[in-house]
Structure 1
């Protein structure tokens, strides 16, 4: 290819297209360029549960953006990436606006880095909290009487876990939970025949991710996380927690250091949780 031809291609306006599995390998290249430890299977998991857009020029991917719909009223947004060489041309805003148009009147939720706050703020998103990323190889498993209450979930319990999760987060996430049950392991706390807590654990990035974690209180949340860790000795673990969860200092004692903070934002009427349980850890910063 001549230098003149290459320059002509670079000057061509990128085309917006739907994000399909055809783009997964190139999407992996974009995330690797940013230092994200995603695997191809991590991209496939996210893309298989959601929908989104890409920007491409002459068959070369230069940006991605994704959306995950929960019920008829909510969507989370994420995986918004623009190649380093293509930044500064408004491509991120173009991708994001395509997501907004696609979502229509949905309430939209996302977790933003410092770099994205201005863009999202201009489009009506308001900060509602923070998420702290903790990771590392955990120290020894601490004994706890609550560990005896945790066991692997049974397939027949998935509808119950789905209902429990929906009440806790305020939006239906059945498709996500189905995906998590297939991609990894679900554990539950059951008292008097009632599910009062659950956690998911799956392969991700440099090791494993624990989340979502939904529980009645911090003691149960710790027991669910501890049980997940006990199944994976000497393995790198990542957990993303709402800053309001109160788990941060305990995770630090377990060798899971806080390495990053993002801002949770919402546009529209935020979900209204019900019931007595709380969300102690996210599935991921993108999927919520």
Structure 2
């Protein structure tokens, strides 16, 4: 999926790949940089900086986002990225969970509403990503009397499954969405990447997902904040790579 959604670059020495990077555009306004990997034996030679600079040429004038490791932080700061928050990675075998009643499975009729909600929360058009998630994963929606007020996605990932994005108005609504998707997956190895400020950690810990690390959210050439504050927020990422 990442290959289909992104442009990738590699650094090659002596016919061997020694570094990789991906740029994933989200519409015309935002892109994420991810899969920044340099062969351990080649570090200290400026390859990471050179491949980042090549990726930033692809990004162009878009706002650029990434999730950094502590080791990569100095490089990204030197290239104009600023810290915006902390990402907490939670994972583990899911404990039994009871589904919330106001949530049900998304249908094709919900897709445009999901895209609109995601744009409000994320600040960019992620239609291509959401189409991929709709066709390869499972999406749930939270319905209220005034319409669709949140969504969450579940898909295969790594050694198990990953839940995200999760977009909702409140942490309680986000927990209802997660509960619906978790309820059918007891014992499955699950991963959720969430902002440290979302307040989801106690819920995730309660359901068996231990805090195992995370990263540093960063932005470069950030767009001005909209004057109207969005009513919905991102409570879990599609992944640390995709935002």
Higher mean C-alpha displacement, 96-105 vs 54-63 = 54-63
Number of aligned pairs? 241
Superposition deviation, residue 191 in structure 1: 1.3
Superposition deviation, residue 111 in structure 1: 0.7
The whole-number CA distance in structure 1 between the counterparts of 2:135 and 2:186 is 22
Aligned to 1:82: 38
Aligned to 1:225: 178
Pair 1:129–1:208, CA change in 2 (3 A):
same
Deviations 1:102-124 (A, max 9, x none): 21111111110000000000011
Matched, 1:59 2:12: no
Aligned to 1:137: 93
Aligned to 2:213: 260
Superposition deviation, residue 271 in structure 1: 6.7
Matched, 1:160 2:113: yes
Q: Which runs of 5+ in 2 are unaligned?
A: none
- Residue from 89, 92, 97 that aligns with 2:48: 92
Q: Which runs of 5+ in 1 are unaligned?
A: 1-44
The whole-number CA distance in structure 1 between the counterparts of 2:72 and 2:157 is 24
Whose strand fraction is larger, Structure 1's or Structure 2's?
2
- TM normalised by structure 2 equals 0.95
Superposition deviation, residue 137 in structure 1: 0.6
Superposition deviation, residue 174 in structure 1: 0.6
Superposition deviation, residue 206 in structure 1: 0.8
Deviations 1:111-165 (A, max 9, x none): 1000000000001111011100000012221x46xx1111110012111100111
**Are the equivalent residues in 2 in contact too, given 1:138–1:255 (CA < 8 A)?**
yes
Aligned to 1:175: 128
Whose helix fraction is larger, Structure 1's or Structure 2's?
1
The whole-number CA distance in structure 2 between the counterparts of 1:59 and 1:233 is 46
- TM normalised by structure 1 equals 0.80
Tell me: higher relative CO, structure 1 or 2? Use CA pairs within 8 A at least 6 residues apart: 2
Q: Looking at CA atoms only, which structure, 1 or 2, has the larger radius of gyration?
A: 1
Partner secondary structure for residue 198 of structure 1: strand
